[in-house]
Amino acid sequence: MTAAVQTDPVVRTPYGDVRGRYEDGIAVFRGIPYAAPPFGPRRFRPPVPPEPWDGVRDAGSFGPTPPKPPYSEAFEKYLSDPVVPGDDCLNLNVWTPEPGPAARLPVMVWLHGGALTRGSSAVPVYDGATFARDGVVLVSVNYRLGVEGYGLFPDAPANPGLRDQLAALQWVHESIAAFGGDPDRITLFGQSAGAISIGALLAAPQAQGLIRRAVLQSGPPEAFERDKVRRMVRRMATRLKVPATAAAFAEVDRDLLLRVQGDVGRLSSPVLGGPSFGIVVDGDLVPRDPLEALTAGDAASGVDLMMGWTSEEYRLWLVPGGLLERVDRLGAVALAGAMARCHCGTEVPRGYRTLHPEAGTADIVGQIVTDHLLRVPLHRLADAHTGSSYVYEFAWPSNLPGLGACHALELGFVFDTGDVPESRKLAGEGGPQHLADAMHSAWVRFATDGDPGWQPWDDTHPVRIFDAAPPRTAYGPRDAELALWTTAPTPEPQPVPAMAPTPTPPSRTTELRSVVRRLRLPGSVRRQ
């Protein structure tokens, strides 16, 4: 007998019909526009709906990716970032096991990371087929990046990239039933810059009622200092020899704008900070700092939360290019830089050294910065939502030398895409499938009914540990380090740490600045 041939699935959206493809029994729709191309008169402006189309629009391949500079050579060996040319870059993708309004399946909406300057929904690690295989409708989103999405100008609204994400979320809420999803069971999940974006959306008045659950992976709710973002724009304007206005930047060749953005962005660092692109308080979509809003009870009422980190986030910042060894060699200067970056006194690095006497300087600096920027605020968020929050730590070390349990390593396990080459660029060969099974199923369970399979956050601080062993719950595994931040006094201007064996010559400060300039990071706990 001849097997029945599945015809391509067709679904109606608010702007026209789209034709997807069946791939191994999963209906996949790629490149669906949720907003009009953000160029021409719409450049640096909030998104507007796309033009409706007649007939059936083909949705068989990924849509254009937003403009972005490439990763540096040091990071390209670990991270993939495909480019799809074209202007219609405000698009999304849907994987569904059962198109049609009768299914009412849980929905997960993915916001990628990449420092708000890189990344896209076309990265193969983010393939949604495994979630659809397990009964979830998966949506992945493209949004404006870098100066196009997060430049701060006097003549344009702030946060257009975040406004893109809100428009996509509204599209999902209005349209996903036709794809088999339940608009009342939308879980927003993202990593690094995607998680930071989720924090802002959870606190945004315009997003209330659109999100049932949220997962923040390696990114805290936060708003950047407006002056940091302004300085990024001003530095670009100086290089371009144009005014620091949206009107002037809109006249600049797009490729030139990306080259200058990439060059200026090399001076940013998660260790010492510096100007960078980020979400800012704008009095509208972001009326106040998202972490303050979420911990004060002003937002996210009734939203289940899951959040976590990797054990050694900082190794993705420092291992490429051999920078881990260079920071170790800098010793006291690197520690002083971390103290200045995190606004802490000598008590904090002394405490870390006492808790981890075997650790090198780079590991101490990395953990200090990670805790300050990521774990402390996520602990605050969990404390404000006890009983409806779940916390995890990803602790499996990469099979590649030096990376350890670094930033972004968990993604191939969450998506259960460890077999694609792009996942192996970070994990190496032979990542444990049982770990992917455990993490992926926890994310599916959380999206389905709000319970990932372990104890919710309470005053015992339960943290689910994912590593080579079967998943287990540890109680307060980071409490000793995080307590240093609550007991340390407000510092005066920072001296070199007392633990330093000898005073450090001024030339090593110059060397540290050189290291920072060479980082060329794809992002940080704050920005990726």
The tens digit of pLDDT for each residue in 292-320 reads 999 998 777 899 999 999 999 999 988 98
Q: What is the 3-state secondary structure (H, E, C) of 439-464?
A: HHHHHHHHHHHCCCCCCCCCCCCEEE
Tell me the per-residue pLDDT of 117-170, one tens digit each, with 9 for 90 and over.
999 999 999 999 999 999 999 999 999 999 999 999 999 999 999 999 999 999
- Judged against a pLDDT cut of 80, whether residue 73 lies above it is answered with yes
- Judged against a pLDDT cut of 50, whether residue 232 lies above it is answered with yes
Question: What is the 8-class DSSP label of residue 51?
Answer: P
How far apart, in whole angstroms, are the C-alpha atoms of residue 401 and residue 378?
29
Strand partners, 138: 95, 108
Place of tokens 């033009």: 51
How far apart, in whole angstroms, are the C-alpha atoms of residue 99 and residue 97?
7
Residue 338's SS3 state is: helix
How far apart, in whole angstroms, are the C-alpha atoms of residue 199 and residue 111?
12
Place of tokens 């006492």: 354
Pick the range with the lowest mean pLDDT from 7-11, 243-247, 319-323. Answer: 319-323
How far apart, in whole angstroms, are the C-alpha atoms of residue 95 and residue 139?
7
Are the C-beta atoms of residues 213 and 446 closer than 8 Å to each other? yes
Count the neighbouring beta carbons within 10 Å of the beta carbon of residue 52.
9
Pick the range with the lowest mean pLDDT from 180-184, 331-335, 502-506. Answer: 502-506
Can you read off the two tokens belonging to residue 204? 């945004």
Are the C-beta atoms of residues 136 and 253 closer than 8 Å to each other? no
Active-site hit among 192, 276, 311, 389 = 192
192 is catalytic: yes
Strand partners, 394: 310, 466
- Judged against a pLDDT cut of 80, whether residue 524 lies above it is answered with no
pLDDT at 274: 64
Of residues 84 and 498, more confidently modeled: 84
pLDDT at 501: 34
Quick one: average pLDDT of 12-36?
98
Domains in the chain, please, with CATH?
Answer: 10-519 (3.40.50.1820)
pLDDT at 273: 60
Active-site hit among 407, 440, 481, 524 = 407
For the whole model, what pTM was predicted?
0.92
What is the bridge-based pairing of β-strands 91-96 and 105-111?
A: unpaired
Query: How far is the CA of 49 from the CAs of 164, 183, 205, 385, 485, in angstroms?
Result: 11, 20, 20, 35, 46
Q: Could you tell me which of 41, 47, 38, 46 has the C-alpha nearest to residue 66?
A: 38
- Judged against a pLDDT cut of 60, whether residue 330 lies above it is answered with yes
Active-site hit among 148, 222, 313, 422 = 313
Q: Categorise residue 287: left if φ over 0, alpha if ψ from -120 to 50, beta otherwise.
A: alpha
Are the C-beta atoms of residues 337 and 272 closer than 8 Å to each other? yes
